[in-house]
Each structure stands twice: as C-alpha cells, then as structure tokens.
C-alpha cells in the first residue's frame, strides 16, 4: 500500500470573507472530535494560518487572497462552468505516523471535513486531493447525497427481501396449538389404553425420599461434591496450618546446610565485632603513650608560631605593633651612633 505524506483539499470563494478562517477552524475542530480525533493543541500565530494538533494528524488551514482568477468548475451531468475566485481556504492533513496510517480512512476524514466546510461557508468550488478538475459546491455535496440515498435504498431492499422469509410468531403459536388440539381430539385405538399420569409428588414425599446429609468427618477428611472441594472445606484449620509451619521450620533449622550456614554467619559476626572493637578502642600501652607525648612536644613550637602570627595580624594590635617596632629601630640606631639626638 502506497503511503501518502499529506492529504490536501481546497475551497474556493467568489468573495473575500475575512471570517472564513475562524469559522472554518471551528467547523474542522467539531468534525475531528465527532470522528474521535480530539484536538490537543491550537496554534494561530499567523493571521492567515491555523494549525491543529491531534492524536494521529496535524491539520493546517491556510486562507489566501488573490486577484480574480477565472476557474473552470465541473458540475454533475453538465459541462464545466467558469467561476471567478477571489480567495481560497486550503486544508492539509498530515499523518503523525505515516507507516501506520490507513489511506482510505484519511481520505474519508478529509472528505467529511470539506463537506462540513462547504455546508457552513459560502463556498463556490472544491478541489479534492490530486484530482485534475475542480468541482462545484453542488456537485461535491451531491456525491454525499447520492451515497446516502443508495445506502437507504440498499437497506430498504434488504428489509423487503427479509420480510417474506420471516414467519410471524403468532402464526407459529397458532400452528403448535392446532397440532395439540388435533392430537387430543383423535380417537384412541382399541389396542392402546391411555396410561394414567403418575401422581404428583408432595413436598412431604420429596422430603422422605431425599437421603439425609452425611455427617461431617472429624478425622481430617474433606466433603467432596462432584469430585471437587466446596466452601471452607478447601482450606485447613488455622491450628493445623500453624502446626505444619512449625514442623517445617524446625526441619529446616535441623538440616545440615542450615546449621553450617548459621555457624559461618555466627563466626563472621564475631569477627566483625572484634574488628570494630579493635578500631574503636584506643591502645593503652606505655610505648604508645610516650609516642603521643613526643608528638605533643614536637607540635608545641608550631602552635606557638601560629598563635603569634595570628595575634600580630589582628587589627587590634596592628597600631601598637607599629609603635613598638619603630621605637626598637630608633634605639638600635642610637646605640650604634648612627643617629644622635
């Protein structure tokens, strides 16, 4: 099946209708929603262009004004007539998924959109897909009227054809009643004697004939009906289920694999605890204490230097420090006889 990228149609007007685009977009939205394609996005950034985004299609409506252009439009059963056109409205359907789009359904959807526009707007001509000739409005709408008339005629013919075959229910009932009446009025032969109807069974007799229900077994047996368990008989009592589960768990714990796995898990847990305790607990040996004291003594000069430099850089002592440094420098120069007061 050949895939079509776009499905195009165009409507021609003999006049310039400024409301053709807005009214046409409303008609297109109604038609799409009527046939199950809800419009998700409506774009109207251009005054002569409207884009509609649906689930399966992108619909574009473009209104154009042009000088008077004589167009040959064909009518049904007649030759083409010249129609002067002054504006046009183009409709383009673009499938979102061309590989999974049915061509016939898309063409039918475009046809219904053009039909709705031709009915709501003052349309003069209609261009359909890639057909080489232009149709008049009456010829385009006449195609749909002919299709509806043919559908009604086919439906009526089918109903007329099925009417003789249908046998009324009342006649069937009358035939059955006549057959029963003929049988009841027919004389009996001397060799045959009518059998007496069996006496009607009373509720007491039915109760006496019904065997009593079987008692419920108490040794764990289940009531069975037609080979299948019924109701609560499908389930064991809670006490029995709990006892079975306890036995099952005890057997699992006593198995060699479970015991080996538990022993390995216990050993791994003990090793992990010992490792964590060794890391978290500080050592208390004498050699370690001496090493720690030596480290503190070695770190004292660094701490003193860092504290002194921090104090010297503080803004509170900066002015006093300048005075002390200047006085020290003067005393040093005076003592070396470089400066005399």
Structure-token pair, residue 43: 């774009």
Band of pLDDT at residue 61, cut at 50, 70 and 90: very high
Asked if pLDDT for residue 91 goes beyond 90, the answer is: yes
Please write the tens of the pLDDT for every residue from 5-23: 899 999 999 999 889 999 9
b/e map 78-92, b = 16+ CB within 10 Å: eeeeebebbbbbebb
Averaged over 309-336, what is the pLDDT?
Answer: 76
| Domain at 7-69+83-146: CATH code | 3.30.310
What's the pTM?
0.45
Instruction: Map residue 135 onto helix, strand or coil.
Output: strand
What's the full length of the chain, in residues? Answer: 341
Cβ(111)–Cβ(52) under 8 Å?
no
Q: Any long-range contacts for 184-193 (C-beta under 8 Å, 24+ apart)?
A: none
- What does the pLDDT read at residue 321? 72
* C-alpha dihedral sign at 56, 145, 126, 61: negative
Cβ(70)–Cβ(83) under 8 Å?
yes
Cβ(28)–Cβ(145) under 8 Å?
no
Cβ(17)–Cβ(121) under 8 Å?
yes
Residues of the chain with CATH 3.30.310: 7-69+83-146
CB atoms within 10 A of CB 247: 10
- The DSSP output letter for 300 is H
CB atoms within 10 A of CB 265: 10
């Amino acid at each position: 099946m050949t895939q079509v990228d776009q499905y195009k149609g165009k409507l021609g007007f003999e006049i310039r209708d400024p409301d053709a685009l807005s009214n046409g977009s409303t008609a297109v939205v109604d038609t799409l929603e009527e046939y199950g394609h809800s419009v998700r996005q409506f774009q109207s950034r251009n005054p002569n262009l409207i884009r509609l985004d649906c689930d399966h299609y992108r619909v574009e409506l473009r209104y154009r004004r042009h000088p008077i252009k004589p167009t040959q439009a064909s009518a049904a059963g007649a030759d083409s007539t010249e129609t002067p056109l002054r504006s046009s409205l183009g409709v383009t359907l673009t499938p979102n998924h061309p590989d999974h789009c049915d061509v016939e359904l898309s063409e039918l959807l475009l046809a219904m959109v053009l039909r709705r526009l031709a009915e709501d707007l003052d349309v003069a001509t209609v261009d359909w897909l890639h057909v080489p000739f232009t149709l008049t409005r009456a010829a385009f709408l006449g195609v749909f009227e002919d299709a509806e008339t043919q559908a009604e005629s086919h439906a009526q013919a089918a109903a007329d054809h099925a009417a003789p075959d249908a046998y009324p229910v009342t006649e069937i009932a009358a035939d059955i009643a006549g057959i029963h009446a003929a049988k009841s009025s027919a004389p009996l032969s001397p060799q045959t004697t009518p059998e007496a109807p069996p006496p009607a069974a009373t509720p007491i007799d039915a109760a006496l004939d019904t065997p009593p229900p079987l008692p419920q077994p108490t040794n764990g047996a289940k009531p069975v009906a037609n080979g299948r368990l019924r109701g609560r008989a499908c389930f064991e009592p809670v006490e029995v289920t709990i006892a079975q589960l306890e036995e099952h768990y005890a057997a699992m714990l006593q198995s060699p694999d479970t015991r080996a796995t538990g022993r390995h898990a216990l050993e791994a847990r003990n090793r992990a605890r010992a490792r964590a305790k060794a890391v978290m607990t500080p050592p208390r040996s004498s050699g370690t204490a001496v090493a720690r004291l030596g480290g503190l003594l070695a770190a004292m000069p660094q701490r003193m230097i860092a504290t002194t430099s921090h104090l010297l850089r503080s803004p509170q002592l900066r002015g006093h420090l300048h005075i002390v440094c200047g006085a020290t420098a003067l005393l040093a120069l005076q003592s070396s006889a470089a400066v005399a007061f």
